[in-house]
Structure 1
Amino acid sequence: MAKRTSEGKSKREIMRCLKRYAAREIYRQVTNPRPAPDNSDLRQTRTALGMTITTLAGELGQWVSIISRLERGHIRNDNLAATYRQWLTNHLKGEAPTAPEP
């Protein structure tokens, strides 16, 4: 907003710019979607370790529902999936798993 205001645009013109930006992003996603990664291995690995979803959610600092939806493929969060996978890998190796950086 500050950039567009400094260019001399009115609030109405700024809103138009934002809407166009959003429309371009949505159009790109609709016409060329990125396939969601397969995260089915996360739940299998977690249960093989005997880890409850509540414990894992606490370790990662996430809500249980977010972890569950990620495992089932209902949401896409590549950063969380990578953190989750790394945490499981460290746990499998016997290393002391660390909480992710916020």
Structure 2
Amino acid sequence: MLDFLNSLIVPVLHYKESDQYNSIFKEISENYCYENFHSDILAYYLKRPIVKKYFIDWLNHRTVNNKSPILFEDYQFGEVFRERGRIDLLIFSNDKNSAIIVENKSNDASD
């Protein structure tokens, strides 16, 4: 799974430079241009422990080496929320003392 997520990096980083990559969101919904839709899909999957585990593994793989790793065990039973305040995705740790915050950007959003 980690290899799969890493394989998505290049297309995601360069999708605006090429017309060879179709957006999965365009393929599955008329509402693809809404970042709320994207966040809904992410939240849906991140509520599943195995997906959350692979996501945390991917985050750890992408972070700078001198940072402490995020431990899946700390987030395994943590809740996933959509639109909590102005936060697109909020993944609480089990004890709610820490969180992973995801700001979902799409459609050339400048903020």
TM over 0.5: no
